[in-house]
Structures are given as structure tokens and as C-alpha cells.
Amino acid sequence: MAGNKKTHNPNSLRFRQAKTRAEKLGQVPTPPSIAQLLASSVPADARRILDLGAGKGALAGSVLRRCLKSRALLVDIDAQAMSRLEDIAPSRTTTANLDVLRSPIVPQLRVGRSRPDVVVSNPPYAMARLGKASIDRVRCIFPEVQDQGGWLRSDVVFAAHAWSLLGRNGSFALIVASPIVTQPAFASVRRQLISGLSNLTVTQLEPKTFEKAEVDAFLITGRKTPSRGQNVTLQRCSQDGVVVGERAISIEDAMRRMDFGYHEAMTTMNADARHVIGTLATLQAAVIRGSRSKNQYAGMGLQAFHTSHFTTDAEELHLTGGQDGFQNAYRGDILVARVGSRCLTRQARVTAGEGLFTDCVYRIRVPDAHRALVWSTLNSDFGREWRQAHAVGNCAKHLTVGTLLTMPVLA
């Protein structure tokens, strides 16, 4: 996302084809409340503002209204946005029509003749296909970031440019997707943010904050000066931009993850951790994903248990329709959702029969001696909170087999 929209090359979309101009450019309006929340992190005496991927100028506009003596440079890939951006504050803004992901000019951007003392951005959350020169520019800032055959996360690219352009003691304020905040692959990026930003604050936004999009996004703010071992502040805010929760975590904990929801859940769960007898893995559980998708089974004229079949209550299943050559669930097996933000906390156990299950569902099979404890753990508040906290993904949350096997089992 960028200011009021995500912006990326229509030919660089990964895994799907965009159908409209808005989708090609990733245009998703940013609520004024979130733009104002971001602006509130910026010192009122800031003078030089850079908005990377400005969109409709929501972020820059909010900062300009806060910092009355400031000027801003608004950068965006969309040529049609230039005149609109120039109208935000005609005497205080200039614009540049550039592709932030790929343009070699980006590292030389200045506000007037000086480095910006504020960089704001709400970059695209998509993957982008980049050339070697563009990837090398990112690795000059984040050396340990790995591309996937020329593909990089767009928000990582924007964060790298924001970091390189920002002057000492400047304000860093970016909205990013969850991988930078939560995934092990981006621990090196977190390390740099933690060590290089004082007053580092990571605010978890509500998934439905952005219109017509459900994403896990985070506002990262701080001053570009060594942190000297300070704790990291985590927050959660409402869709109205109101902070509704706050906690401080250690640098060690922040290196692991920087999302408020995870650390809040872990605090709750640690109260129960005294009663842990092992993990699914140590109790010799086997976790298996279904053989086919719901549509594939339907195309073969077969019925299979799917995430839509989970109810809100714990469920006992009598399955039918088992088939040789596919993964089946049998009496004693436990089924849990693999994917789906709304159903990850649901589970069911097979009490009779046998039947197919889709690739959106995991079958958990454990030795008889541990079956009751595994079921009671999955069906407890602890089990539900643990799965929510450990699920990953920007939009549709999912659990990996490896992660699920690390789930503690309570006595």
C-alpha cells in the first residue's frame, strides 16, 4: 500500500492476474484515522517529508497538517496521480513520477537539497519481480534478505529505501504486512529496526482496517538513532485509529516477533505452561494434510470434510465415504483447520466411520494413551489461542505442519 494505495507494476503480480486498473496499481484507500495515527508519531517541528508511493496523499497530507512549517516530496508510480498530489498543499509539495521498486533514481531523492527528516509510506504488500540492480540496492540496506528467484516483498523494498534515505534522528513511519513483523525469514530486518530506531513502536492494525481488503498490517514508527538496548513498544489499535492495548517487550522477544496479538496470547498461555507434558511431536502425533481440494473432490463426485463443515462448537463426527488411494480420517482421529482466519480455532474428532478430508484440513493421529489429553488441549482456550497466535499469512491465516507439531499439550 502506499499513502492511499498499493502501487506496483501490473506485469509483476505473482500467482494471479489483476483485472482492473485499481487492482493493477493496488489501490486500497487508507482510512484518515490511520493516516492521523501515523502522523501523530512525527515531531511537529519536522521540515522535510518524503512519501514513498503517495497514492492520493493521505499520509503526506496528515503529516503536512501536523507539521505546519514542513515541505513534502510525494513519489508515486501512477502518472495520473501527479496533478491530484500537487493539489494537496500546492505551495508546500512537489511530486515525482517514479517506480519506487525499480527506479535507480530513488536512492538519490532529496526534499529540496537535503535528506528528509521524515519518511512515510504504506507500500504494496505484494511480491514484486525485480532485476539484479534493484535487488542489490535492497541488499545494501538489508544484506541478509533473500529473493525467491528474483521476487521480493514490495514492503521490504520500500522499507530499505526509506531507511537509506532518512537522515540521522529522522522519523521512520511505515505500514507493512505481517511477514516483516512475524516471520523468521525477516529476523534480520527486525534486528536492524530494533538496533537502529529509538522509541520503536509497532502498532497492530485491525484486519478490516482497509476497505475491501482483509490484511494483517502493522504501523512501524521510530527515530533513526541507536536504540541503546531499549525495550520495544507494541500496540493494538481499533479501526478508528484509537490505541486499545499496549505492552513493552524485550529486544530478545522482539527479535522473535513484534506483533501485539502474539505476545498477548503468549502471556495468557504461559499461565497454563506449568502443566505442559510435551508437544504434539514428542507425543508422537502425526499431522497429515488432505489429499485434494474441495473442488477437486467434487469434480470426482466425492464428498470430503472441509473447513466449512466445522461448527462453532466442538464436534463429534460420524464420517462416511472413505476411499482407497486418498487420505482418510478414521475413528479416534482429530481434524483441525489448516487455513482460514475464522475457523483456525475449530476442531472435531471422529467417533465413528471413515471419510475423506480436504487439503484445507489437517488430520491429527496420536497414540491412544495421549488422545484424550491432545483433544482436551485443542478444545481448550489455550489450544485455540495458541493456534491463532502461531498462524501466519497476510490475509487467509494458515498453520504449517511444523508449527502445529510444536504445540504444547497440557496435562
Strand partners, 330: 354
Contact yes or no for 59/120 (Cβ under 8 A): yes
What's the confidence (pLDDT) of residue 19?
53
Q: Looking at residues 252-272, what average pLDDT do you find?
A: 83
Written as nine digits, the cell of 247 is 505492552
Written as nine digits, the cell of 95 is 511530486
Listed residue (202, 222, 194) closest to 41, CA to CA: 222
Contact yes or no for 353/331 (Cβ under 8 A): yes
What's the confidence (pLDDT) of residue 75?
96
Q: Tell which phi-psi region holds residue 68, choosing left (phi > 0), alpha (psi between -120 and 50) or beta.
A: alpha
Strand partners, 348: 315, 335
Contact yes or no for 338/399 (Cβ under 8 A): yes
**CA–CA gap between residue 5 and residue 22 (Å, rounded):** 9
Contact yes or no for 6/124 (Cβ under 8 A): yes
Q: With cut-offs at 50, 70 and 90, classify the pLDDT of residue 343.
A: confident
Alpha helices in 108-249, H assignment, sequence order: 132-139, 154-165, 178-182, 187-196
Strand partners, 73: 50, 94
Contact yes or no for 116/49 (Cβ under 8 A): yes
Domain ranges of the chain: 10-270, 275-410
Listed residue (278, 304, 300) closest to 289, CA to CA: 304
Listed residue (275, 279, 253, 278) closest to 265, CA to CA: 253
6 has pLDDT over 70 = no
252 sits in which H/E element: helix 251-256
Q: Looking at residues 80-103, what average pLDDT do you find?
A: 92
Residues 6+ apart with CB under 8 A from 15: none
Listed residue (70, 147, 80) closest to 111, CA to CA: 70
194-246 pLDDT, tens digit each: 999 999 999 999 888 888 777 789 999 999 998 888 899 999 999 999 999 99
What's the confidence (pLDDT) of residue 16?
45
- Report the topology of domain 275-410: Adenine-n6-DNA-methyltransferase TaqI; Chain A, domain 2 (3.90.220)
How far is residue 189 from each of residues 7, 142, 150, 157, 289, measured CA to CA in Å? 22, 6, 19, 11, 32
CA angle 196, 183, 77 (to 5 degrees): 70
What's the confidence (pLDDT) of residue 250?
94
DSSP state string for 273-336: GGGEEEETTTTT-EEEE-SS-HHHHHHTT--EE-GGG--SS-EEEEE----TTS-EEETT-EEE
Q: Tell which phi-psi region holds residue 373, choosing left (phi > 0), alpha (psi between -120 and 50) or beta.
A: alpha
Written as nine digits, the cell of 302 is 466425492
- Of 162-176, 178-192, 203-217, minimum mean pLDDT range: 203-217
Contact yes or no for 38/120 (Cβ under 8 A): yes
What's the confidence (pLDDT) of residue 165?
98
25 has pLDDT over 80 = no
How far is residue 362 from each of residues 88, 342, 376, measured CA to CA in Å? 51, 16, 17
Domain at 10-270: CATH code: 3.40.50.150
What's the confidence (pLDDT) of residue 323?
94
Q: With cut-offs at 50, 70 and 90, classify the pLDDT of residue 292.
A: very high
Mean pLDDT score of the chain = 89
**CA–CA gap between residue 89 and residue 97 (Å, rounded):** 17
